[in-house]
Amino acid sequence: MNEPYGAPQIMDPAPQATDPARQALLDVRHEVAKAVVGQDATVTGLLIALLSQGHVLLEGVPGVAKTLLVRALSAALSLDTKRVQFTPDLMPGDITGSLVYDSHTSEFTFREGPVFTNILLADEINRTPPKTQASLLEAMEERQVSVDGVSRPLPANFLVAATQNPVEYEGTYPLPEAQLDRFLLKLTMPLPGRTDEVEVIRRHAAGFNPRDLAAAGVRAVAGAEDLERARQAVATVAVEPEIIGYIVDLVRATRQAPSFQLGVSPRGATALLNTSRAWAWLSGRSFVTPDDVKALALPCLRHRVALQPDAQMDGVRVDDVLGSILASVPVPR
């Protein structure tokens, strides 16, 4: 998750000064770091999504450890996880499940698909056609799956972590706008800096096996109960009317930006509110500040806007336009 414009960093507090649930989630970041180098901001974004009960789109070039990061997070949280490799021939039933004929009973029975888990890793989601991508919509929004007219609920802790390669790469299908809006955050995973890349290679030279997280020392330090207690605490974080007005002003500014043909909807404003509260709580505060809103603005809004065709041709970047909006909208005092 990018943290521009003076966004506050989440610092590890003194043990005696922190909430046990918060400390458990901070420990999760340390465990994931045993397997993934230099992606603390992305891990924090995933934790914010879990606290806000949303879903995350991870974007980065192949080889920046998107899949490994999600697997390590699941292990540290003691949650079940399943992975689906999205391919051009993947069918909707391969994700949600389907009715299978049982020759012994002469009846059709439902066989659960991989979506029935806690964290679903939708790997390279933009390599499959839109029809299959859309099969995730109900699961992401309603947290249930309907097959043959019967609705089947998904687990209480359910998050879709979808990895995506940049659309410039061959063989990719842009995600439909309706599905993009279902993702709470879009986190970009850049290539590592030299120091981090040296550490990655050093670990591999020392025998690190990305398929064996236990050998890397990754252990479960939190669970479903910690997440539930954390969500209850996040719900108590105060949001002053001035902060609500600031969020609305930011969102409305995206609708008036000349470079955008599509601005952020009220759903996006609600998402920015919820994630800002989660960020504030993780940072050890009982109230939301303008800096909390700024910290989450890009990951929360960048996938909810669309550039004008001429802006695309001119090489305008969505993050740059959003950055200009953040710099121009008055900040409450």
Domain of 315, CATH number, reads: 1.10.8.80
- Looking at 228, 251, 276, which one is the last position of a domain? 228
Distance CA 257, CA 104 (A): 63
Q: Mean pLDDT across the stretch 256-279?
A: 95
Query: Are 249 and 198 part of one and the same domain?
Result: no
Host domain of residue 265: 236-333
**Structure confidence at residue 3 (pLDDT):** 45
Distance CA 275, CA 52 (A): 6
Query: Are 206 and 257 part of one and the same domain?
Result: no
Query: Are 254 and 184 part of one and the same domain?
Result: no
Query: Are 217 and 264 part of one and the same domain?
Result: no
Domain of 58, CATH number, reads: 3.40.50.300
Query: Are 154 and 289 part of one and the same domain?
Result: no
Q: Retrieve residue 134's tokens.
A: 């859309």
- Looking at 170, 200, 228, which one is the last position of a domain? 228
Query: Are 272 and 202 part of one and the same domain?
Result: no
Q: Mean pLDDT across the stretch 111-128?
A: 90
Query: Are 38 and 84 part of one and the same domain?
Result: yes
Q: Mean pLDDT across the stretch 192-217?
A: 93
Query: Are 130 and 240 part of one and the same domain?
Result: no
**Structure confidence at residue 7 (pLDDT):** 38
Name the pLDDT band for 102 (thresholds 50, 70, 90): confident
Q: Which pLDDT tens digit goes with each residue over 126-165?
A: 888 888 888 887 788 889 888 878 889 999 899 999 988 7
- Looking at 211, 228, 245, which one is the last position of a domain? 228
CA angle 287, 331, 288 (to 5 degrees): 10
Q: What is the pTM of this model?
A: 0.89
Q: How many domains does the chain have?
A: 2
Residue 249 has pLDDT above 50, yes or no: yes
Query: Are 219 and 115 part of one and the same domain?
Result: yes
Handedness of CA 135, 319, 189, 40 (dihedral sign): negative
Query: Are 25 and 123 part of one and the same domain?
Result: yes
Q: Which pLDDT tens digit goes with each residue over 275-330?
A: 999 999 999 999 999 999 999 999 999 999 999 999 999 999 999 999 999 999 99
**From the centroid of its chain, how far is CA 240?**
26
